[in-house]
Amino acid sequence: MPYTFKDKCNIYNIMEYLSINDLGRAIAIYKFYDMTNSYNAAEFSFKEAQKQTNIYKKFYFLKEAIIGFNSCYDYPYQIIYFAFDFFDKITSAEDYKKAIKNRCKPYEWKDKKYQKTIFSEDIERLKQTNCNAKNFFIKFEEYINFASDQNYGIRQWANNIKHQGGFVVSDILKHDKIAYIECQQGDSLSFTTEWLYPYTPSFDEIINNLTKQKDKLSEFIDWLYVSIFNNTQIIDFKSKPKLFSAEKYTKDIKFSIITPIKIT
């Protein structure tokens, strides 16, 4: 079943958080919405794949499901970045763009290598000083790392599909009677076209991994939602105490007027 986030939240819940100056959790609500939309789109592709009798259509929908479920793992860092006050003051669209593009990720490419971001350093600081934060991030990292799980991971598949190519189902290779070609120099293998296809799982393997990922992601979304809002059913109008806060956000913005604008 699709993950129905709209039943948990409405515009009045968001306005209530803004009225008590909790901009972070108001933004987090929208990021949850984005995450669940990606989840539902991936789940749709996954279900469509299993209906197909044409192997090429089946492969198409499975690739869409892999990319979709994998993209869900990008949102939790954005959610906690805002929900637990890791962000600096936001008073313009440009402030938000900088935060979402450069700051709410654990690593960045800098000086020709990946380095920990300020966000990542803040997380480590909280883990050392706050028991709630420590326990939260132990569980959080367990969920996040499932994308690359040794037995059921999809992260490498998704990266290969998006960036390198060479991802194909073994069932299709056999159906198309594709043969690998080897080249040797003397007694040594110099080149083989097998190198072009580093990932050749079967349909059954892909479906098995995606089933595990779908179930784990659904569990992850619920857990993260409860951790932030203390309820899986609805966000109410009470200010829930946060498990912890990075206290980066300077809470000196007082909104004089909060007005909903209908999307048309």
Question: Mind listing the pLDDT tens digit for each residue in 79-105?
Answer: 999 999 999 888 899 999 988 887 888
Q: What's residue 261's pLDDT?
A: 84
* Cβ partners under 8 Å of residue 19, min gap 6: 255, 258
Structure-block tokens of residue 98? 């900088």
Report percent pLDDT > 70 for the chain.
91
In one-letter notation, the amino acid at residue 183 is C
Going by the DSSP 8-state scheme, the letter that residue 92 receives in this structure is S
* Alpha-helical runs (H) found in 103-242: 118-129, 131-145, 155-159, 170-175, 203-229
Q: Tell me: the pLDDT tens digits for 97-153?
A: 988 887 888 887 777 777 888 899 999 999 999 999 999 999 999 999 999 999 999
Structural domain spans, the chain: 5-229
